Amino acid sequence: MGMNEALFTFSVRQADSALVLAQRLCEWCGHGPVLEEDIAMSNMGLDLIGQSRGYYSYAANIEGGGRSEDDLAFHRNEREFMNRCLVEQPNGDFGHTMMRSFFYSAFSALQHRELRSSTDETISGVAQKAWKELQYHARHTGQWIVRLGDGTEESHQRIQSSLDELWSFTEELFDTDRIDEQLVSEGIICDIGLLKPEWDVMVNDVLHAAGLVVPPKGYRSKGGMHGVHTEYLGHMLSEMQYLPRAYPDARW
Amino acid sequence: MSDSNNWPTWEVFTQKAQGAPHEHAGNVHAPDAELALLNARDVYSRRNEAISLWVVPTESIVASTPEDVGPFFDPANDKMYRSPNFYKTPDGIKQI
């Protein structure tokens, strides 16, 4: 595969995960349990939209075929989306949303910390900003997991079942394929497999403080990066993409 | 923590630049200090307005009351000699 094609695919994968999670977080807008958390979730969503724009516009540039960042976000179908399956999972309750974001932002913060030293200037630029934002997301969501786990009997039981359900989507975060290997060998991206032990420590610290127990190994998701998704992504995209598809010339 | 209506409020102070004073920005609800800080960040510094934040439990603030207006604040008005108005400020001193 040509370098540009690999770089395009990597960028779109990165953008897709950020955008899909952003859309999920913004679904909370106006529905948060308290005003402050409502704002916090939208803030995190907007950070992720910023990150996805950085990657989409870079991908559109690389492709050079006239597709814009908006075309990539709003005019591709479910099978063409390459996000990790974790981020497309439905919001559930507030704790569920915190758990999902915590897993992702712990991962993504580590990844972007490393990507800051990418030999590719655009990627290192995006990473510089994303790293800061994602550290905050991991802190905010991690704090909530501790409080819910260590809260009432009901909050503990509910956040434990979120952990049980979402845990099976975490291993997929670290999946790679030949495209990644190619970019790693060029120094453009880091080998995310090397970050897994650090992610384990970050996550276990929080889960331990929360008094939560990691479920036994069982089913694990895979294939998001190749367009194979759970049943939820299609529904989410139909809502997210409705307006630009129904009114292609719509302007703010 | 089960009823969010019971969360206490925290007063938020933001510092806009190094050396500048922390100024009162508003308040947030939060169940504890750490989350008060995070909420303050999200509500009052989401567009980089601050480089430092303080949160203080609202109940810790001791405030004057509206009835204090007269006895508390009036007396200095008629004593010009209490204000340092009659000193010359040397050139080159910008802030005093």
Domains of chain A: 3-246 (1.20.1260.10)
Rounded to whole angstroms, the Cα distance separating B90 from A207 reads 61
**For residue A35, what is the nearest residue in chain B, using CA coordinates?**
B29
Measured CA to CA in angstroms, residue B39 lies from A26, A163, A238, B1 at distances of 17, 24, 32, 16
ipTM: 0.74
Whether B2 shows a pLDDT value over 60: the answer reads no
Rounded to whole angstroms, the Cα distance separating A130 from A119 reads 17
Average pLDDT in chain A: 96
Section A233-241 average pLDDT: 97
Rounded to whole angstroms, the Cα distance separating A38 from B21 reads 29
Tokens representing A168?
A: 């099976």
Range of weakest confidence among A112-121, A217-226, A243-252, B6-15:
A243-252
Instruction: Inform me whether the C-beta atom of residue A75 falls under 8 Å from chain B C-beta atoms.
Output: no
Tell me whether residue A75 is exposed, middle or buried, using C-beta atoms within 10 angstroms of its C-beta: 0 to 12, 13 to 18, 19 or more: middle
Chain A residues in contact with B53 (beta carbon < 8 A): none
A40 with B42: Cβ contact below 8 A:
yes
Share of chain B above pLDDT 90, in %: 53
Paired residues of B24 in beta bridges: B13
Q: What's the DSSP call for residue B45?
A: S
pLDDT for B87 equals 72
Tell me whether residue B66 is exposed, middle or buried, using C-beta atoms within 10 angstroms of its C-beta: 0 to 12, 13 to 18, 19 or more: exposed
Rounded to whole angstroms, the Cα distance separating B38 from A40 reads 9
Share of chain A above pLDDT 70, in %: 100
B30 with A155: Cβ contact below 8 A:
no
Report phi then psi at B26, rounded to 5. Answer: 155, -155
Residue with tokens 């292609």: A248
pLDDT for B88 equals 76
Read off the pLDDT band of B49 (50, 70, 90). confident
Buried b (16+ CB within 10 A) or exposed e, A155-191: bbebbbbbbbebbbbbebbbbeeebbebbbeeebbbe
Rounded to whole angstroms, the Cα distance separating A94 from A125 reads 32
Whether A230 shows a pLDDT value over 80: the answer reads yes
Rounded to whole angstroms, the Cα distance separating A87 from A21 reads 5
Nearest to B1 among A43, A140, A151 (CB): A151
Residue with tokens 């008005």: B77
A36 with B43: Cβ contact below 8 A:
yes
E strand residue ranges, B1-96 = 9-15, 22-29, 52-57
**For residue A41, what is the nearest residue in chain B, using CA coordinates?**
B42
pLDDT for B3 equals 52
pLDDT for B67 equals 78
pTM: 0.87
pLDDT for B1 equals 44
Tokens representing B10?
A: 């925290």
Q: How far is A168 from chain B (nearest CA, A)?
A: 29
**For residue A153, what is the nearest residue in chain B, using CA coordinates?**
B2
Contact in structure between B38 and A140 (CB atoms under 8 Å): yes
Strand order in B9-15's β-sheet? Answer: B22-29, B9-15, B52-57
Rounded to whole angstroms, the Cα distance separating B52 from A247 reads 44
**For residue B7, what is the nearest residue in chain A, using CA coordinates?**
A34
CA B44 to chain centre: 13
Whether A106 shows a pLDDT value over 80: the answer reads yes
Q: What pLDDT, in 10s, does the model give residues A161-216?
A: 999 999 999 999 999 999 999 999 999 999 999 999 999 999 999 999 999 999 99
**CATH numbers and ranges of domains, chain B:** 3-85 (3.10.20.520)
Rounded to whole angstroms, the Cα distance separating B96 from B89 reads 9
Helix residue ranges per DSSP H, B1-96: 33-44
Whether B28 shows a pLDDT value over 90: the answer reads yes
Q: What pLDDT, in 10s, does the model give residues A59-94?
A: 999 999 889 999 999 999 999 999 999 999 999 999
Read off the pLDDT band of A48 (50, 70, 90). very high
Read off the pLDDT band of A250 (50, 70, 90). confident
Rounded to whole angstroms, the Cα distance separating A106 from A201 reads 10
How many alpha carbons lie under 13 Å from residue A223 in its C-beta half-sphere? 10
Report phi then psi at A65, rounded to 5. Answer: -105, 15
End-to-end CA distance of chain A: 39
